[in-house]
Chains A and B, each alone.
Chain A
Amino acid sequence: MKVLVPVKRVIDYNVKVRVKADGTGVDLANVKMSMNPFDEIAVEEAIRLKEKGAVEEIVVVSIGVKQAQETLRTALAMGADRAILIEAASDVHTDIEPLAVAKLLKAVVDAEQPGLVICGKQAIDNDMNATGQMLSALLGWSQATFISELSIDGDSATVTREVDGGLQTIKVKMPAIVTVDLRLNEPRYASLPNIMKAKKKPLEEKTAADYGVDVSPRLSVVKTVEPAGRKAGVKVGSVDELIAKLKDEAGVI
């Protein structure tokens, strides 16, 4: 079976986000970018399936600016076999919406015919939590979101999902789209020799136009602002003082 893993290049999760003063968005010039953390988990899961012999080939795909190459190289260094870059924007501030990403991924799925697509549950930049579900809809495949366990047996997969009430286990028909949650696995780091090897792995470059997909946004950004700030309060010296403050000053207990 072939597995497809979409990986997104996003601001590194440790970076302090700065909203641009003119309200047009978040400043992404010269900030550290990394693979979306959920996508690292997705790549790791694909590699583990390959190590178990359940998967022959792992194809990673990224949609966005040319620099997403770096993200794909990281995935190749972790252990993916082949990469596809779909250039769909020239400015690092252009975010391709999940609907357009899903349409491009559908075209890739049509061409590559994987048996499984492993997405992240959400991109930590736009926090949409949508692409996997949308791709599944466009393909008419089964979907299992927010998974913390995956086992594949033949033409079905059993997954455990992290839901508001706790955990839910469902069985989905293959081919399937899954989106991964934080506790599925702990992604590995790429070793130096593997980083060197990854430079020689195939990375195909395409454009959105090659797939005939219109990526123009459906949502136009009116403005982007900083959230209302919260200022630090006071330090209290003792438990007694804390209780007094909560009772008399805040009136919350």
Chain B
Amino acid sequence: MAVLLLGEVTDGQLSVDSTAKALTAAKMLGDVTVLCAGAHASAAAAEAAKLDGVKKVLCAEDPSLGHRLAEPTAALIVSLAGDYSHIVAPATTDAKNVLPRVAALLDVMVISDVSGVVDADTFERPIYAGNAIQTVKSSDGKKVVSIRTATFDPAGQGGSAPVETISAAANPGLSEWVEDKVATSDRPELTSAGIVVSGGRGVGSQSDFALIEKLADKLGAAVGASRAAVDSGFAPNDWQVGQTGKVVAPQLYVAVGISGAIQHLAGMKDSKVIVAINKDEEAPIFQVADYGLVADLFTAVPELTEKL
């Protein structure tokens, strides 16, 4: 079987972590070719070629592929699909934008957010905010699959796959990019960080979110947030952890002023160690926390930051 893995390319750079995690799942399905597409993609293709177990890398550079707009990216993948039994990508917002479009053009179902590979046709995926795990068997000729990266270890380095340059498909010209508002930060990325410190509505304001950020910086951690904290404007949207935000599984997850709604738990309950700091001893977050501290966050968090 042959697998086409869509590498996660943003502004010409390969996201090695998410691509390497999806590669681990893809390798269980067959020989993996990685596709790197973008306005600039050769540096990303060179990175992808070094991942362990990659058979070949396809590099497509074209202005139309610059911001991973769904229509030209899907058209490119569909033009290549004939050679592959599986089309796979890490379940990022980019891939969730593109893969269902690819699947519909191929008249197959997409299998989203796969957390386990049983065999080439059979996959496990969480449903109902992770309250159930469903095993599904696909009867489609081609499988289009996105991989929940939090559940797979990244493939290693050490490969030296050949890179082949290919051209883009015709751009349907339906949409154009206007701008990106991307916050740059020196902190580790949320989905690959070893430690995540998240704040919820209990933090109370955007300025008090600095307490969370200081603790995170002391721990070398990424910062996350609950939906309520994002909706209230305390934190940007890309920090949201949960059913409809990012899924994380760090070594240590610290939830501060977060009640523990199932939609939040869906994004973090596979963390190795969970710490909860909440003033309400009945808060549901304590039912999943390894270590719970019933305390006012405005005294406990500064004290913790200080003593670490």
**Chain A residue with Cβ nearest B173:** A173
B144-161: which have CB < 8 Å to A? none
A235 and B93: CB pair below 8 A? no
Judging by beta carbons under 8 Å apart, are B292 and A170 in contact?
A: no
Asked if B132 contacts A242 (CB within 8 A), the reply is no
B276-308 interface with A by 8 A CB criterion: 281, 286-295, 300, 303-304, 307-308
Contact of A124 (CB < 8 Å), options: B74, B181, B182, B243? B243
- The interface stretch among B21-29, B80-88, B99-107, B198-206 is B99-107
Given A182-B231, A239-B303: A166 in contact with B109 (beta carbons within 8 A): no
Is the pair A226, B132 in contact by a Cβ cutoff of 8 Å?
yes
The answer for the CA separation of A161 and B125 in the assembled complex, in Å, is 25
Bound CA–CA A128/B307 (angstroms): 44
B61 at the interface (CB under 8 A from A): no
Q: Which residues of B contact A161 (CB under 8 A)?
A: 93
Residues of chain A within 8 A (CB-CB) of B289 are 232-233
Q: Which of B93, B94, B98 counts the most chain A CB atoms within 10 A?
A: B93
Instruction: Name the interface residues of A153-178: CB closer than 8 Å to any CB of B.
Output: 158, 161-173
Q: Does B187 contact A (CB under 8 A)?
A: no
The answer to whether B101 and A136 have CB atoms under 8 Å apart is yes
Asked whether, in the complex, the Cβ of A11 is within 8 Å of the Cβ of B293, the reply is no
Docked Cα-Cα span, A17 to B134, in Å, equals 13
Q: A26-B128, A183-B230, A242-B291 are in contact. Are A164 and B238 (CB under 8 A)?
A: yes
Residues of B within 8 A of A217 (CB): 109
Cβ of A223 to closest chain B Cβ, rounded Å: 5
Chain B residues with CB below 8 A from A172, complex form: 174-175
Contact across chains for B132 and A227 when beta carbons are under 8 A apart: yes
Q: Which of chain B's residues have a CB closer than 8 A to the CB of A235?
A: 281, 286, 291-294
Q: How far apart are B278's CB and chain A's nearest CB, in angstroms?
A: 11
Shortest C-beta distance, A228 to chain B (Å), equals 9
A220 near B104: Cβ-Cβ < 8 Å:
no
For A135, the closest partner residue in chain B by CB is B104
- Tell me if A125 and B127 are in contact (CB < 8 A): yes
Interface contact A145-B96, CB-CB below 8 Å: yes
Closest to A127 in B: B127
User: A42 in the interface, Cβ–Cβ < 8 Å?
Assistant: no
Known: A99-B103, A137-B101, A253-B219. A127 touches B112 (CB 8 A): yes
Contact flags A212-253 to B (C-beta < 8 A → 1, else 0)? 000001111111111100101111101110110110001011
| Residue ID in chain A nearest B8 by CB atoms | A164
From B272, which residue of chain A is reached at the shortest CB distance? A252
Question: What is the CA–CA distance of A243 and B93 in the complex, to the nearest angstrom?
Answer: 36
Q: From the candidates B101, B135, B281, name the one contacting A133 in the complex (CB within 8 A).
A: B101
Chain B residue nearest in CB terms to A138: B104
CB distance from A95 to the nearest CB of B (A): 9
Complex interface: chain B residues within 8 A of A141 (CB)? 174
Indicate whether A13 reaches chain B with its CB closer than 8 angstroms.
Answer: yes
> Known contacts A183-B231, A222-B136: does B100 contact A129 (CB below 8 Å)?
yes
Query: Of B10, B131, B195, B300, which contacts A252 at CB under 8 A?
Result: B195
Q: Are B292 and A234 in contact (CB under 8 A)?
A: yes
Size bin of chain A's contact surface: 35 or more
B264 at the interface (CB under 8 A from A): no
CB distance from B155 to the nearest CB of A (A): 20
Chain A CB within 8 A of B37 CB: no
Q: Which of A223, A238, A250 contacts B134 (CB 8 A)?
A: A223
Quick check: is B108 within 8 A (CB to CB) of the other chain? Answer: yes
Instruction: Evaluate contact between A232 and B286: CB separation under 8 angstroms.
Output: yes
Is B56 an interface position by the 8 A CB rule? no
CB closest chain-B residue, reference A163: B93
**Min CB distance, B92 to chain A, in Å?**
5
Judged by a CB distance under 8 angstroms, whether A121 is at the interface is yes
Report B-chain residues with C-beta under 8 Å of the C-beta of A130.
100, 103, 110, 112
Q: How far is the CB of A57 from chain B (nearest CB, A)?
A: 24
Q: What's the Cα separation between A100 and B308 when bound, in Å?
A: 54
Let me know if A252 and B129 touch, CB within 8 A. Answer: no
A53 within 8 A of B: no
In the complex, B227 has a CB within 8 A of chain A: yes
CB pair B288 A230 closer than 8 Å: yes
Known A-B contacts: A142-B175, A168-B67, A224-B127. Give 19 more (CB < 8 A). Answer: A17-B131, A127-B243, A133-B97, A141-B174, A143-B97, A165-B182, A171-B178, A182-B227, A217-B109, A222-B122, A222-B135, A227-B126, A230-B269, A232-B286, A234-B290, A235-B293, A243-B307, A246-B291, A252-B273
The 10 closest A-B pairs by CB, nearest first: A233-B290, A142-B174, A133-B100, A134-B104, A130-B100, A137-B104, A17-B131, A218-B109, A222-B135, A219-B136
**Residues in chain A within 8 A of chain B (CB atoms):** 11, 13, 16-17, 19, 25-26, 97-99, 102, 121-122, 124-138, 140-146, 148, 158, 161-173, 181-183, 217-227, 230, 232-236, 238-240, 242-243, 245-246, 250, 252-253
21 residue pairs of the A-B complex, CB under 8 angstroms, read A125-B128, A134-B103, A137-B102, A137-B104, A142-B175, A145-B97, A163-B238, A164-B191, A166-B182, A166-B183, A166-B237, A167-B182, A169-B178, A181-B244, A225-B135, A226-B131, A226-B132, A227-B133, A235-B286, A239-B307, A253-B219
